[in-house]
Amino acid sequence: MTEPEKQADGCQWVLRVSDAKKTFEDGTAALKGVRLEVRRGEFVVVLGPSGAGKTTLLRSIIGLERLTAGEVRLDGAKVEPSSLAEVRSKVGMIFQGFNLIDNLSALNNVLSGLLDTRGNLATLFYVFKRSDKLRALQCLDQVGLLDKAYSAAGKLSGGQRQRVGVARALIRQPRLLLADEPVASLDPMIAFTVLSLIKEICAKQGIAVICNLHQVDLALRFADRIVGLSDGRVLLDEKAGAINQDYIREIYAGHGQGMYFGAGDAPSDEFVHLDFLGSGPLP
C-alpha cells in the first residue's frame, strides 16, 4: 500500500485531484482542469449550478469516469483500473435518490454496503458474518435508527431512508465519503438533520467528506471549505467563513437570474435572486 502523502504541516491528504480533465465522447467538456485537495476529517462542499461538473468530478474520483487528462490520488495511490478495488474499499457513497432496495430491511441495506468487499456467498444470499451484522447495527444506531433495523426500507420516511444510506456508507469504514446532492430530495428541516448527522459522525471518525450541493445556505452552514465549480472549472476554493456574495455571484454567473438558496426541492419562492441580496454579508 502506498504511504499517505504528507503536507508541509504534517497533515495527511486523503485526496488529491490534479488538473483533472474529462471530455465525453460527444465532445462535452465536463471538467476542464480541476485541482482539489482534501485532508483527513475535512468537510468540503462542492457548490455549483446544474451542469457545472460536480457529479462527473465525484464519479471520476472512484473511477466511474475515466479522466481524459490529469489524475486522482487517494491516500497517495493513483486511481486507475489496477487500483480500483482498493480505492473503492476506502470510499463510501451517499446518493440523492438513496439507492436502497425497498423490500430489504434497513439492516440488510446497510450490509449491502459491504457486498463488493465480501465473497460470493454474501453477494448471492445476504449471508454475512456475525461481526458484520453487529457493525451494521452499530451504524444504524449512529444514525438513530436502531429500532428500525428490521423494517423494510420502503416503509421508512425520506429522512429515515437517507439515514440508512448514511449507515450503508459508514459500514465500509471509509477514509472518504462522497455525497452527490444527498439532501436534494428532502424537506429543508430533514435536509438539515441529515447533513448535521453526516458532519458530526465524519468529524468524530476523521472521515473526509466531499458533498455536492446546489444550496448556498446549506453549503455555508456545513462546509469547512467550499469549492465553487462552474463550467468544469474551480472558481474558488476557500474556507467557508471567507465566502462572500461576490464569490457566490461568480459561481452562478450566467446561470439564470438567481441561485438556489433553499434546501431540498423547495417551491420557487425560495429561489432567491441575486439582485435581492444587495452587497452585505451573506446570511
Ligand X SMILES: Nc1ncnc2c1ncn2[C@@H]1O[C@H](COP(=O)(O)OP(=O)(O)O)[C@@H](O)[C@H]1O
Residue ranges that bind Mg ion, judged by CB under 5 A: 54-55
The C-alpha cell at 24 is 465525453
Amino acid at 6: K
Burial status of residue 274 (CB atoms within 10 A of its CB: 0-12, 13-18, 19 or more): middle
- Per-residue binding string, ligand X, 17-36, x by CB under 6 A, is -------x-x-x-x------
Could you give the C-alpha distances from 186 to 191, 208, 249, in angstroms and in order?
5, 23, 25
Shortest separation between residue 60's beta carbon and ligand X, angstroms: 9
- Tell me the β-bridge partners of 132: none
- Report the sign of the C-alpha dihedral through residues 170, 176, 180, 183, in that order: positive
Q: For Mg ion, which is the closer residue by CB, 52 or 100?
A: 52
Shortest separation between residue 28's beta carbon and ligand X, angstroms: 4
Q: For ligand X, which is the closer residue by CB, 164 or 186?
A: 186
Shortest separation between residue 40's beta carbon and Mg ion, angstroms: 26
Closest alpha carbon to 201 in 181, 171, 225: 171
- Per-residue binding string, ligand X, 161-200, x by CB under 6 A, is ----------------------------------------
- Which of 4, 51, 70, 76 touches ligand X (CB under 6 A)? 51
Shortest separation between residue 118's beta carbon and Mg ion, angstroms: 30
Q: Which does 117 bind (CB under 5 to 8 A by kind): Mg ion, ligand X, none?
A: none
Q: Which does 52 bind (CB under 5 to 8 A by kind): ligand X, Mg ion, none?
A: ligand X
Q: For Mg ion, which is the closer residue by CB, 30 or 114?
A: 30
Q: For ligand X, which is the closer residue by CB, 2 or 28?
A: 28
Burial status of residue 12 (CB atoms within 10 A of its CB: 0-12, 13-18, 19 or more): middle
* Ranges of H-type helices in 183-241: 188-205, 216-222
Could you give the C-alpha distances from 246 to 227, 236, 249, in angstroms and in order?
14, 11, 5
- Residue 55 in contact with ligand X, rule: CB under 6 A: yes
Shortest separation between residue 266's beta carbon and Mg ion, angstroms: 18
Classify strands 233-239 and 176-180 as parallel, antiparallel or unpaired: unpaired
Amino acid at 55: T
Q: Which does 51 bind (CB under 5 to 8 A by kind): Mg ion, ligand X, none?
A: ligand X
CA neighbours within 13 Å on the CB side: how many for 64? 11
Q: Which does 48 bind (CB under 5 to 8 A by kind): Mg ion, ligand X, none?
A: ligand X
Residues in touch with ligand X (CB under 6 A): 24, 26, 28, 30, 48, 50-56
